[in-house]
Amino acid sequence: DAGVIQSPRHEVTEMGQEVTLRCKPISGHNSLFWYRQTMMRGLELLIYFNNNVPIDDSGMPEDRFSAKMPNASFSTLKIQPSEPRDSAVYFCASTPTGGSYEQYFGPGTRLTVT
């Protein structure tokens, strides 16, 4: 199994631009999580999907952030417009059930907004 796949691995963009991060979960996993990691705040859960349905998006920082999961094998996290304070590493993780089992993390996308 290839594990959780994220793209791009690195993204550098200018303030105000739209950024789209992509994630392909492990086949057969029905829960997907988006996280953000910074030195100051550590890992933070942004949003959680179960069977493609958003269950809890209370961690999404503001309306500039949106996430979708159109099918079981693909999810996107979009930031529009991006700001320098959005610079972080964004991780996607999947798990066979809704949080009870071990989470498998992708390699992350390092986002830099200048």
Partner 1 sequence: KNQVEQSPQSLIILEGKNCTLQCNYTVSPFSNLRWYKQDTGRGPVSLTIMTFSENTKSNGRYTATLDADTKQSSLHITASQLSDSASYICVVRGANQAGTALIFGKGTTLSVSS
Please tell me whether residue 42 binds partner 1 under the rule CB under 8 A. yes
C-alpha closest to that of 23 among 9, 37, 12 = 9
**Burial (CB count <10 Å: 0-12, 13-18, 19+), residue 18:** exposed
Please tell me whether residue 43 binds partner 1 under the rule CB under 8 A. yes
Please tell me whether residue 98 binds partner 1 under the rule CB under 8 A. yes
Closest separation in Å from C-beta 38 to partner 1: 10
Q: Which of 94, 106, 111, 113 binds partner 1 (CB under 8 A)?
A: 106
Q: Which of 79, 91, 94, 113 binds partner 1 (CB under 8 A)?
A: 91
Site for partner 1 in 2-31 (CB under 8 A): 4, 31
Applying CB under 8 A, the site for partner 1 has a residue count of 24
Q: Which of 15, 17, 18, 44 binds partner 1 (CB under 8 A)?
A: 44
Instruction: Look up residue 83 and give its amino acid.
Output: E
Strands (E), the chain: 5-7, 10-13, 19-24, 31-38, 42-50, 53-56, 65-71, 74-79, 88-95, 104-105, 109-113
Contact 75, 67 (CB under 8 A): yes
| Chain contacts with partner 1 (rule: CB under 8 A) | 4, 31, 33, 41-45, 48, 55-56, 58-59, 91, 93, 98-99, 102-108
